[in-house]
Amino acid sequence: MKPEEYAEFYKSIAHDDAEPAKVIHYTAEGANEFRVLAFVPAHKPLEMEWGEPKTGLRLYVQRVLIMDRCEEVLPMYLRFVKGVVDSSDLPLNVSREILQRNPLLDSIRKSVVKNVLDGLAAMKNTEYAKYVPFFQGLGPVLKEGLGQDWANREKIADLVLFESVKTPRGEYTTLARYVEAMPSDQKEIYYLIGEERELIEHSPYLEAFRAKGYDVLLLTDPVDEFAIPALGAYKDKKLQAADRGELDDAKDDQAPADESFKNVLAFLKGKLEDVSDVRLSKRLTDSAAVLVADKGSDDGAHGTAHAALRPRGRGGCQAGPGTEPDSPRRDDDARPVRKEPAGLARRKLRETLSRPGHHRGRVEGERPDGVREARERVVGEIRSVTDRNEKRAGVPRGTPALDFSDFSVQVTVC
């Protein structure tokens, strides 16, 4: 067939006015014989914007149309693929019940999946300019396979494009290039999930990674919240959310426990009901606070909190952006954070952390109920305690007075 004939046939079965990005045409011979003609669209089909998701290829038996959409030969994460399958070995009077029990369909399905993934890999490697717009439209659908197709998850992982801290806007990296560029002391692949790249880039979660020269993948698709953790690892490198647990590669850099802060840390731990631990840390470099999920916690479970204070030196005020020693802290967009009673702040923090979307490295940057505001409520509560340096009612004896403009606070959701 000529290229224009492929294009016309694709347009007729896909109801698309654009030419396909990739044509996959082959004949399988051997114990089972069948022919496949499949098309990868250049953009996201209109039918995928609404309605129930459907998958499948047209099934023919000896050139007789048996089924307009045979779901058994194409997995859901490849539902954007259009085409036909013609088998000589299936019976003409085949029914849906027989199809579901027919081992030949399993063989056809494995063959179709393999050839489609190989075709996408070839397009990525040899026609990258064509692959990028395809992935921008259909990448979220393809990434569903990371959690659905265990046998092919590494092949699918190689097809995924990622933005990262070190890639310019509009450009992408891959897991293979990420691993190749990793510093020798980096042991894990780090990622952070959020709604927009701009929000993620200003996240305090990234400060420690930038300081150490580590790259972090910036993920903005809703499907990333389950697809990337489902992948788990790539080339023996574990995928780790940047906001979860301790930064293993920075443990040696953490500030040693200072006996002079022992009492105040114990007091703050008791004051904050949602805090499981309070300690000095070097995780942050500029921001005053950050919420971090515990490395071993269950994402669906209600969490407790863990706060770490990082002294930034004794010489003068080194407050984070928008922070004045005697004024309410502000977000990056200069909105003042409303002061609230300590008990109300704790209750709102608990409600915030129990909502979906505040786990697995997800950044909710500008949402009123987001991580940033919850973090600021904790900072405000701690500040309200330490500002009463003269009265210091209820503060344990021997607790030093602290100026929190010299500290960063890290809150970890366990």
DSSP string spanning 141-210?
HHHTHHHH-STTHHHHHHH--BEETTSPTT--B-HHHHHHH--TT--EEEEEEES-HHHHHT-GGGHHHH
Residues 279 and 210 placed together within one structural domain of the fold: no
Reading the block at residue 392, the tokens are 């210091």
Residues 64 and 198 placed together within one structural domain of the fold: no
| Residue 134 is assigned to a structural domain of this protein | no
- Among 220, 243, 266, the domain-final residue is 243
Residues 273 and 370 placed together within one structural domain of the fold: yes
pLDDT given for residue 264 in this prediction: 75
Q: Where are the alpha helices (DSSP H) in 299-413?
A: 342-354, 371-386
| Residue 136 is assigned to a structural domain of this protein | no
Residues 289 and 403 placed together within one structural domain of the fold: yes
Amino acid identity of 383? R
CATH of the domain at 203: 3.40.50.11260
- Beta-sheet strands, E only, within 288-365: 289-293, 305-311, 362-363
Domain count, the chain: 3
Q: How far apart are CA 367 and CA 331, in angstroms?
A: 11
CATH of the domain at 46: 3.30.230.80
pLDDT given for residue 293 in this prediction: 59
- Cα dihedral 400, 402, 407, 412 sign: positive
Query: Furthest-apart CA pair in the chain: how many Å?
Result: 91
Intra-chain end-to-end CA distance of the chain, in Å? 59
Residues 409 and 268 placed together within one structural domain of the fold: yes
| Residue 200 is assigned to a structural domain of this protein | yes
Residues 232 and 306 placed together within one structural domain of the fold: no
| Residue 359 is assigned to a structural domain of this protein | yes
| Residue 135 is assigned to a structural domain of this protein | no
Helix (H, G, I), strand (E, B) or coil at 272: coil
pLDDT given for residue 393 in this prediction: 43
Residues 167 and 306 placed together within one structural domain of the fold: no
User: pTM, whole model, 2 decimals?
Assistant: 0.72
- Among 102, 127, 152, the domain-final residue is 127
Amino acid identity of 414? C
| Residue 284 is assigned to a structural domain of this protein | yes
- Among 212, 243, 274, the domain-final residue is 243
pLDDT given for residue 292 in this prediction: 61
Amino acid identity of 59? L
Full domain range(s) for residue 237:
141-243
Which residue stretches of the chain have pLDDT < 50? Answer: 249-250, 252-255, 298-343, 345-346, 348-361, 365-369, 371, 389-393, 395, 401-409, 411-414
Residues 114 and 148 placed together within one structural domain of the fold: no
Residues 153 and 210 placed together within one structural domain of the fold: yes
Helix (H, G, I), strand (E, B) or coil at 92: coil
Residues 296 and 388 placed together within one structural domain of the fold: yes
pLDDT given for residue 239 in this prediction: 95
Contact 232, 187 (CB under 8 A): no
DSSP assignment, residue 235?
Answer: T
Residues 262 and 408 placed together within one structural domain of the fold: yes
Q: How far apart are CA 186 and CA 152, in angstroms?
A: 26
Which residue is it, tokens 């896909």?
A: 14
Residues 256 and 403 placed together within one structural domain of the fold: yes
pLDDT given for residue 162 in this prediction: 97
pLDDT given for residue 247 in this prediction: 65
Reading the block at residue 93, the tokens are 């009077």
| Residue 343 is assigned to a structural domain of this protein | yes
| Residue 182 is assigned to a structural domain of this protein | yes
Residues 6+ apart with CB under 8 A from 393: none
